[in-house]
Amino acid sequence: MIAILDYGAGNLMSVVKAFRFLGSEPVVTSDPEVLAQASAAVLPGVGAFGNAMTRLKQSGLKQPVLDYIDSGRPFLGICVGLQLLFEESEEAPGVPGLGVLKGRICRIPEAPGLKIPHIGWNSLNISDRSGLFQGLEEHPYVYFVHSYYVKAADRSDVTATAEYGVTIDASVRHGNLYATQFHPEKSGRAGLQMLRNFINLIGKGES
C-alpha cells in the first residue's frame, strides 16, 4: 500500500490519479497508524514552506514521517515535500525543516528575462540513473512550479539538476529517501516512468 500524506498542504488528486493510471491504488491519509503500515509513502506539497511545515506539525505527522523514513521503506517527497526534508528555507526564516537532509532552500535570484515563479517545462541533467531515473532518456523534460530551490550540502545526495538562472538541485536521493523539486505526476511520460520506478522499489529493500 502506498500512503499519500494529507496534511493540508499537498496537491493530492493529481498524485493519486497518476498512481492509479499505473495500476496502483494509493491511500490518502493523515493517520499515523496507516502510514506506519504502508509499503511506500509520498509527501506532496504546495504553497509556502513555513505554512506547510506548520500544517505538518499540526497534523501530527511530523514524527511519524521521520520514523517512516528511518524504517528504510521507499519515501518520495514532491515539490515543497522535497523542501521540508531539508534544514531551513529563506522563505520562512526561523522555521526549521525536518532536517533529514543537510542543506537550505534559497530563492531563485532575479535576472533579466527570467520569470519567477519558475513555471513550466525544463530539462534535467541526470547524474544518477538508478532509482527514479531508470529507463529515461538522457535529458527528460519535467514540469516545475516554484520560486525557491534547494542547495543540498551533500552533493552525493543530488541525482539531477536543472538550469534556470542558477543550477537547481532538482532531485535528491539518500538511501530509501527520494525527492523531486518538479512534479513527476504532471511531467507526462517521463514523470509516469519515475513513479513506476518508485512503485517498483517496494519490497526490494534498496538503501
The model's pLDDT over 137-190, given as tens digits with 9 standing for 90+, comes to: 989 999 999 999 999 999 999 999 999 999 999 999 999 999 999 999 999 999
pLDDT at 8: 85
Q: How far is CA 32 from CA 28, 99, 133, 198, in A?
A: 12, 20, 29, 21
Tens digit of pLDDT for each residue in 91-146?
A: 999 999 999 999 999 999 998 989 999 999 999 999 999 899 999 998 999 999 99
79 is catalytic: yes
3-state secondary structure of 85: coil
What kind and span of H or E run contains 63? helix 62-70
- Which of 79, 91, 146, 174 is the catalytic position? 79
Residue 28: all three cell numbers together: 490518502
Domain ranges of the chain: 2-200
163 is catalytic: no
Find all residues with CB under 8 Å of 111, minimum gap 6, and list them: 165
AA letter at 45: G
185 is catalytic: yes
AA letter at 138: E
What percent of the chain is predicted at pLDDT more than 90?
91
- Which of 118, 146, 174, 183 is the catalytic position? 183
Peptide bond into 184 cis (omega under 30): no
- Which of 91, 146, 174, 185 is the catalytic position? 185
Asked if residue 206 has pLDDT above 70, the reply is no
pLDDT at 156: 96
What kind and span of H or E run contains 108? none
Q: State whether CATH 3.30.1330.30 applies to domain 2-200.
A: no
Q: How confident is the model at residue 205 (pLDDT cuts 50, 70, 90)?
A: low
3-class DSSP string for 5-23 = ECCCCCCHHHHHHHHHHCC
